[in-house]
Amino acid sequence: METTPHETLYGKNPTELTVLCDRMGLPRFAARQLARWLYKRHTEDPARMTDLAAANRERLSAQFAPALAAPVRVTESADGTRKYLYATSGGHFVETAYIPDGERATLCVSSQAGCRMGCTFCATGRQGLQRSLTAAEILNQIVSLPERDRLTNLVFMGMGEPLDNTDNVLRALEIITSEWGFGWSPTRVTVSTAGVVPELGRLLDATRVHLAVSLHNPFHDERAAIMPVERVWPISEVAAILRQYDFTHQRRVSFEYILMEGLNDTPRHVRELCRLLNGIRCRINLIRFHRIPGSPYYSPAPEAMIRFRDALTARGIQTTIRASRGEDIQAACGLLSTSELNMKN
């Protein structure tokens, strides 16, 4: 099997690296050396892998393309949030948000350029799906980040639906959480989904990362009007799957809920949320809506958000209001990349 100029070393797991070594006539132990250079030292240039034979370094350099690249643009908020723009092949762009908070530093990464879920309140959804990212392109958002060594947490809540790109997301998670990879604890990672039912169990069975479900409305017809995924995979089916899993030890599930005035913020929504989530040990994160151009939606007043939170808490669901970050730099997913695409076109 011949390698192609587009094949990269970065993103391969030890099994694949072993197959590669067999194919190229390298000793099998070279797979461990490659993994150490790639994921411990974050070095993908074979010329720098000094414990490999010089001839093997030359062969690897000739056959594999680089995968890692620095961001092409950064904007910084007054609150310290930084939003990075990364270019991908095909002329597409993805966004990554670095969110410092005291001793905690969270990175919000993308799994696709664009998104096919079509949520009406999301700027990324307006782009449609351009393509899914490879595992190397997902990891590049972490490895090539200037603040890489300060990171404490990682959330797959950027552009795209992670469970619409499950193979590459699982591959990236394996590298992030394996001892031979980045060595991160799964408890430092959260994967968000709008509820792709056929892939949900696969993620939960294959990993121990936290889960965040984009809920936003507990009523089928109302959720379907703003989240087309509801027509195919109702949130009630998602809830039924989650009841089969234990979220009491080390792994947690949360439900993300963007409050939109007059749309999903009434007492009947509180009652239906309690009914829908009955039997699931979880929390609800209330999020203030970040305006996007041409959107008909508005965030309720802070007092209304507090009342909604308190009503859920009084009924036994742990509920928090997530602090808004980076709104002055277009922190809502998709706005920066949309702007870049418009300028390019």
* 249/307: higher pLDDT: 307
Residue 128: partners with Cβ closer than 8 Å, 6 or more residues away:
114, 115, 116
Q: Which of 21, 119, 122, 333 is catalytic?
A: 333
Give the C-alpha separation, 328 to 309, whole Å.
25
Q: CA torsion angle for 135, 140, 143, 147 (degrees, to 10)? A: -130
- Return the pLDDT at 4: 47
Whether residue 333 lies in the annotated active site: yes
Closest by CA position to 70, among listed 90, 50, 42: 42
pLDDT (average), residues 213-235: 98
- Return the pLDDT at 20: 95
- Return the pLDDT at 290: 84
Strand, coil or helix: 278: coil
Helix (H) / strand (E) containing 86: strand 82-88
Residue given tokens 């408890």 in the structure block: 187
Whether residue 95 lies in the annotated active site: yes
- Return the pLDDT at 302: 94
pLDDT band at 331 (very low <50, low <70, confident <90, very high): low
**What's the whole-model pTM score?**
0.92
User: How does strand 283-288 pair with strand 82-88?
Assistant: unpaired
Domains of the chain plus CATH, in order, are 14-63 (1.10.150), 73-344 (3.20.20.70)
Terminal Cα distance for the chain, rounded:
39
Give the C-alpha separation, 187 to 118, whole Å.
30
pLDDT band at 327 (very low <50, low <70, confident <90, very high): low
Q: Which of 44, 95, 199, 256 is catalytic?
A: 95
Average pLDDT of the residues of the chain: 92
